[in-house]
């Protein structure tokens, strides 16, 4: 089984973002997780078009746009034009997820859906065949540095069982440290978002943090 990590660029040093992307390109990460927040669906703002375009231009790995915004259908074409590879919308923001997935795929991106902690995975049962990935929020969306919600282990396992043999990746986002990452991977997730508790630890080099992460998850037997 392959383990994956996706650095959250929201947690990176914003004054050195380009340098950070170049460093991460060479570390073996699986994709860049870039948060987009509109100040409405979540109480925060993050990453406008110019920043996303710059990241997409510099990234040698896929760019996963986690769109925490109302009316996600209004942003599909623009995010495709910016160069994003994945477009992840929140299931809570739409009544037409099947149409949204079709529009995302037609624009040349891979559709993904995110679920807030209070949203049950059973709501994805009929949608899974339309998705390439699911992001399970393990904290309330909108701010980095929150504590992981422990009931998420069961939720990860339930989604893993529901997916079965489908080629749908499970990403876990929020409050993940190395120990939590190991447990999440053991429950069936494929990718953990690397933030302040893993890849961007204060006072440590990113490469050092990544090595520690890799060593920690190799201990998991699945």
Active site residues per annotation: 35, 173
Cα torsion angle, 71, 73, 78, 80, sign: positive
Helix residue spans in 83-198 (DSSP H): 97-106, 152-163, 178-187
Task: Return the beta strands (E) in 82-180 as ranges.
Answer: 86-90, 110-115, 133-137, 169-173
d(CA 52, CA 35): 9
* Residue with tokens 């074409």, as numbered in its chain: 77
SS3 190: coil
Q: Which residues, in sequence order, are CB contacts of 58 under 8 Å at separation 6+?
A: 18, 21, 22, 25
Q: Which residues, in sequence order, are CB contacts of 180 under 8 Å at separation 6+?
A: 148, 192, 197
Contact of 59 with 21, CB cutoff 8 Å: yes
């Amino acid at each position: 089984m392959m383990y994956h990590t996706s650095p959250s660029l929201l947690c990176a040093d914003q004054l050195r973002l380009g340098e950070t992307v170049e460093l991460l390109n060479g570390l073996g990460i699986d994709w860049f997780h870039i948060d987009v927040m509109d100040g409405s669906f979540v109480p925060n703002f993050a990453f406008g078009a110019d920043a996303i375009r710059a990241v997409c231009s510099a990234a040698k790995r896929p760019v996963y746009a986690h769109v925490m915004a109302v009316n996600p259908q209004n942003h599909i074409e623009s995010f495709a034009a910016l160069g994003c590879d994945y477009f992840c919308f929140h299931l809570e923001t739409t009544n037409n997820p099947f149409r949204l997935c079709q529009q995302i795929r037609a624009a040349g991106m891979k559709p993904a859906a995110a679920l807030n902690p209070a949203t049950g995975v059973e709501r994805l049962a009929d949608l899974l065949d339309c998705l390439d990935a699911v992001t399970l929020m393990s904290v309330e969306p909108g701010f980095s540095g929150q504590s992981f919600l422990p009931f998420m282990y069961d939720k990860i396992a339930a989604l893993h069982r529901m997916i079965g043999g489908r080629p749908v990746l499970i990403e876990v986002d929020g409050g993940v440290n190395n120990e939590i990452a190991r447990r999440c991977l053991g429950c069936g997730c494929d990718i953990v978002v690397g933030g302040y508790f893993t890849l961007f630890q204060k006072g440590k080099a990113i490469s050092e943090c990544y090595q520690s992460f890799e060593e920690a998850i190799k201990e998991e037997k699945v």
